[in-house]
A and B are shown apart, each in its own frame.
Chain A
Amino acid sequence: DQQVKQNSPSLSVQEGRISILNCDYTNSMFDYFLWYKKYPAEGPTFLISISSIKDKNEDGRFTVFLNKSAKHLSLHIVPSQPGDSAVYFCAASNFGNEKLTFGTGTRLTIIP
């Protein structure tokens, strides 16, 4: 049972444009969400997070939006840069339970 889903395995975006990565979840107990970025041969790197009490969190070029009623979150990258090319994982957890449930990832390619 895939509780966190990233339905787009890959996405290509022109440099300078907006990249939007999507993630859906089914477990209504999840209340903390994270995005990780992963380069080949490296471990995932934390990018940005959001708790369920907020619907938006911004950090520089990265913004995460949370729609609790739709059980959907998205990561916006503006403007997209070649160094953003990587696999992006969304992850979720619930209060008092530290384990993260990950999606299967979206490979983002930024085209120069």
Chain B
Amino acid sequence: DSGVTQTPKHLITATGQRVTLRCSPRSGDLSVYWYQQSLDQGLQFLIQYYNGEERAKGNILERFSAQQFPDLHSELNLSSLELGDSALYFCASSAEQGALADTQYFGPGTRLTVL
């Protein structure tokens, strides 16, 4: 158990809909990262938050947005969903931000299926 929790585990929805994925980082970790893993692909970095502030952006679509709340949990919002958005979405957390890349600890993921 990494200490990172994600809800829900599974989500099935229709095209055009909007969903929210939730992540709680390990106790004490200030950084939260979101990754997308499509079928047979590696994990693609989407976005990072540190202590409530956006720190880095990867290949995140404009239809997607995220935020980190004062209690450090994070939400990833996906809107106008398309079939191609079906994927595993992972959240990771780490303690430090800055000089050295710190080990990231991953949650179990949310499997999103768009029908």
Residues of A within 8 A of B (CB): 4, 6, 32, 34, 36, 41-46, 49, 51, 89, 91, 93-105
Contacts and interface: CB of A to CB of B under 8 A. Distances in A.
B111 to A, nearest CB: 9
Contacts of A43: 2, 4, 6, 90, 92, 106-109
Given A45-B106, A102-B42, A104-B42, A96 B33 contact: no
B55 interface: yes
Contacts of A100: 33, 43, 45, 101, 104
Given A42-B108, A49-B103, A93-B101, A99 B42 contact: no
A95 B102 CA distance: 10
9 contacts: A44-B43, A45-B106, A51-B100, A93-B101, A98-B31, A98-B56, A98-B94, A100-B45, A103-B42
A96 B6 CA distance: 27
Contacts, number: 71
Nearest to B45: A99
Interface residues of B, number: 32
A89 B43 contact: yes
A72 to B, nearest CB: 17
Nearest to A43: B106
Nearest to A2: B42
A23 B63 CA distance: 33
B48 interface: yes
Contacts of B92: 43
Interface in B85-115: 90, 92, 94, 97-109
A97 B113 CA distance: 31
A43 B89 CA distance: 10
Given A32-B101, A43-B4, A49-B103, A97 B42 contact: no
A102 to B, nearest CB: 4
Contacts of A94: 101
Given A45-B106, A89-B42, 16 more contacts: A32-B100, A36-B106, A42-B109, A43-B106, A44-B43, A46-B105, A95-B99, A95-B101, A97-B101, A98-B31, A98-B55, A98-B101, A98-B102, A100-B33, A100-B101, A104-B40
